[in-house]
Structure 1
Amino acid sequence: MSLSALRVTDLDRAVEFYVRGCGFVHDKDLTTSTFRAVIVRAGAAGLELVVPTDGGADAVPDHGNMLVKVVVNTTDIREQMARACAHGGVEVTPVTTLDGYDMTIGTVRDPDGYLVEFVQRN
């Protein structure tokens, strides 16, 4: 199984976006003395949505330049994009067919600014 962690500012809002908007499944909640987190899964892959509870909790997340995007496979990209936007996402790239690659893609920014790319194989 694969898991990547994303620092978010509002855990409930992030869970709403990824579960209801992107089709991930809620797996488990984690709480320590320094953070709260929720793990959401899409098949074997997943995300750990993390909110610090220590002194750095109020700092705005710095996405840096390493993480480019989260990629989510779908069988109905138009429905998936609409659902993601209805749950806090903002469309960046509209649904676009890439004929040379036999796929259709579109991108949305999640409520914390992370780029989510939806991919439908044609």
Structure 2
Amino acid sequence: MHYITKNEKKCIGNINYIFCDDNYLLLMNNKYLNKNYYTDVIAFDLSLKGYISGDIFISIDRVLENSYKYNQFFLFELERVMIHSILHFLGYNDKKIMDKIIMRKKENFYLNLF
């Protein structure tokens, strides 16, 4: 992920990817975000002073299901989720429609570099 942070003019600190199943991530979604649905990723941003750091929990079950749903290779979907999380740490958001469009363009840009 160094190519993303370098291109975005940030330094990489500690990024921890934790791979788990749907049930584990659902418990985390309930506990930390008060949400009761499955998700593919939850990221906890621990960035300090220009160093991008954090813990990223990824549901392998959800990524696999999304790969079928979107007719993509599993590794492609996994890379997308990994990049998506880093983009959040860099300050990109996906709550509004225009933000989602920008985020998807950034994801695609970095996927093509990868």
Please say whether Structure 1 and Structure 2 have the same fold, judged by a TM-score greater than 0.5: no
TM-score band w.r.t. shorter chain: under 0.3
The TM-score with structure 2 as length reference comes to 0.22
More strand by share: 1
Which is higher, the Rg of structure 1 or of structure 2? 1
More helix by share: 2
